[in-house]
Amino acid sequence: MNLKALSLTALFAAFIALLGFLPPVFVPFFPLVPLTLHSLGPILAGAVLGAERGFYAVALFWLLLLAGLVFAAGSTGPAVFLGPTGGYIIGFGLAAFIIGALYSRFPPAAKRSPFLAAAQEFCFLAIGSLSIYAAGIFWLMILTKMSLTQAIWLNLLFIPGDCVKIILCIIIRRRLLPLLPAASGTLR
């Protein structure tokens, strides 16, 4: 990885951390896991940086979180990984990798049909977001001994918010793309 790509990856790791500083909103019927803008960071990192660098950005964020230097869901340190939000935080890396891989394997052709390209991007990001849910649900089931059905029902509360984050991610990615070739010679 060259220096520019490395510093761009570090910037996205810092962006993921910045989103963690924004205050979480607690859902009344499911106070265990708060609603935050946080998952926007990893899906954007995957969409912009690609699979490996996106994952690397999330891994950097994990290290800082473990060291207690940044926040996630209002808390920090190793406790975050052991708490109910731990699965979602691990899922961030999975999401960044899957989204990056999907973007590089099936690049959306915005010039041919902008609507189709946006729909395609929405699908990629939704698949990535689902991987966050999968990791989160798995961890919740282990930690709280919830059944799969219960955990899935509770997670349905986050879907409208995640749809909004996906739309935000598509818009931000399109605005950033023209800047990226200058920032890193290897990125699209």
Binding site for other proteins (CB under 8 A): 1-11, 13-15, 17-18, 21, 31-32, 40, 56, 60-61, 63-64, 66-70, 74-79, 82-84, 142-146, 150, 164, 168, 171-172, 175-176, 179-180, 182-183
Closest contact distance (angstroms) between CB of 14 and other proteins is 4
Residues 53, 140, 40, 115: is their CA dihedral positive or negative?
Answer: positive
Contact 124, 47 (CB under 8 A): yes
Closer to other proteins by Cβ: residue 56 or 124: 56
Closest contact distance (angstroms) between CB of 6 and other proteins is 5
Closer to other proteins by Cβ: residue 82 or 106: 82
Closer to other proteins by Cβ: residue 116 or 142: 142
DSSP 23: P
Closest contact distance (angstroms) between CB of 162 and other proteins is 14
Residue 41: closest CA among 70, 18, 67, 64:
18
Closest contact distance (angstroms) between CB of 17 and other proteins is 6
Cα 63 from Cα 133, distance rounded (Å) = 21
Greatest CA separation for the chain = 49
Closer to other proteins by Cβ: residue 10 or 127: 10
In what helix (H) or strand (E) does residue 33 lie, and over which residues does it extend? strand 30-35
Q: How many CB atoms lie within 10 A of CB 169?
A: 27
